[in-house]
Amino acid sequence: MPSYDVIVVGAGVAGMAAASALARQGLHIAVIDKGLPDVLKTGECLMADALKIMARLGLSEDFLAAEHRSLQAYDVTWGQVPGYQRHLLGSASGTGWIVNRRHFDAMLLEHCRRHKVAVFWQNSLQKIEKNAAGYWQLQLKGQQPICLSARFVLDASGRARAFVRQLGIASRRLDKMVATSCHIHSVSELSASVASIASDHQGWWYYAKYSATRGSLCYFSDGDLPLPDGPKSLVARASEQSLLAPLLADARPMTATFKRCAAYSSVLKSCVGDNWLALGDAAASFDPLSSYGMTSALSGAFYASQALVRHFNNQPKYLQTYQQLIQQNFLTYLETRLQEYEKVSGYDSPFWQRRRQEAAAGVVPRAEESDGRHSLLGH
């Protein structure tokens, strides 16, 4: 049975960044993923803070060389207040990027290849066991059954939490948000370097152009509410928004990229345990309104890899430090998220009623300190 220092479950941003960081330290790493490498993912807006983390992960040079589009501002219509533009140039951290995910994910894969990470695509985690020597044994379901073993497992499988779910680790889930999204073909440059956000009766919209001919269109609502049921209805409903209509005038949906996926906020009760650790969305997942998920995945990869290297050098307390960091960060995020949704008035629908009820119930314990990273819309 092939044996590794660490097996990473999930080849998303968190998993690939952690795998290459650990392999750079000389550890023998495998990544497994149920999907294929060339799937076009969603999640483009990257805040400026992420560059510092990428520098620590050894990714920043290649990231900058890829010439992702600059994100200079957000155009926002949020509730009944007049629309406004939030410029990032004058913000504390500066302008960010509208990332081309195909190039970004290819960069992460290339770094894994460079550092000799073994990647098992189209292999879904099926069953976990621990042997008498304390090694994890992971059975995978792919074209052929494979079993891998490792001293340590990182769960980077997103909200699926494929590994920790089998351990019965509980999570706290705050809402039922789902995303309906589709990549768009458009040559209009009306929204170049700008991401657009617009609330509607049952949720909110996001649109950003990440290349001269492509953009990403998403609608966020709750899973039990009426949702666009295909790429055409997604574009048609978005085009009813006065902010989005001119930007989508020439839009053609790339129908194969239409999908619906979970977008709820949640956190694991414990994101470290006996020779395992969770990171990225698996540890804590954020409302995409925060544009924080990818930065969290990258910083989780950095801090998790640091903690793990120290753990292997008989300094286990750093795993607890990592756990505290994740929990504290999530509390800070929750407070800001509520503040942003509280600003929206004028809609009397289940989506907005639920956000107001959550705020009224005061479900968020006050965070002790804030580093200001989670200003959702920043006005």
Ligand X SMILES: Cc1cc2nc3c(=O)[nH]c(=O)nc-3n(C[C@H](O)[C@H](O)[C@H](O)COP(=O)(O)OP(=O)(O)OC[C@H]3O[C@@H](n4cnc5c(N)ncnc54)[C@H](O)[C@@H]3O)c2cc1C
Query: Which one of 59-67, 128-136, 158-166, 337-345 is the stretch in contact with ligand X (CB under 6 A)?
Result: 158-166
Contact of 105 with 37, CB cutoff 8 Å: yes
Evaluated on CA atoms 87, 93, 94, 96, the torsion sign reads negative
- 280 scored as a contact of ligand X (CB under 6 A): yes
End-to-end CA distance of the chain: 55
- 292 scored as a contact of ligand X (CB under 6 A): yes
Query: Which one of 75-83, 106-114, 278-286, 321-329 is the stretch in contact with ligand X (CB under 6 A)?
Result: 278-286
Cβ of residue 280: shortest distance to ligand X, in angstroms?
2
Nearest to 301 by CA among 13, 6, 5, 4: 13
- 32 scored as a contact of ligand X (CB under 6 A): yes
Identity of the residue, 133 or 287, whose beta carbon is nearer to ligand X in the bound complex: 287
- 157 scored as a contact of ligand X (CB under 6 A): yes
Q: Which of 66, 81, 118, 160 binds ligand X (CB under 6 A)?
A: 160
For the beta carbon of residue 8, count every other beta carbon within 10 angstroms: 34
Cα–Cα distance measured from residue 61 to residue 78, given in angstroms and rounded to the nearest whole number: 36
Cα 378 versus chain centre, distance = 20
Write out the binding residues for ligand X, residues 310-369 only, by CB under 6 A.
none
Query: Which one of 44-52, 58-66, 241-249, 362-370 is the stretch in contact with ligand X (CB under 6 A)?
Result: 44-52
Per the listing, tokens 């080849």 go with: 11
Cα–Cα distance measured from residue 36 to residue 221, given in angstroms and rounded to the nearest whole number: 28
Contact of 101 with 39, CB cutoff 8 Å: no
- 15 scored as a contact of ligand X (CB under 6 A): yes
Cβ of residue 36: shortest distance to ligand X, in angstroms?
9
- Site residues (CB under 6 A) for ligand X? 9-15, 32-35, 42-46, 124-125, 156-158, 160, 162, 179, 181, 218, 261, 263, 280-282, 288, 291-295, 297
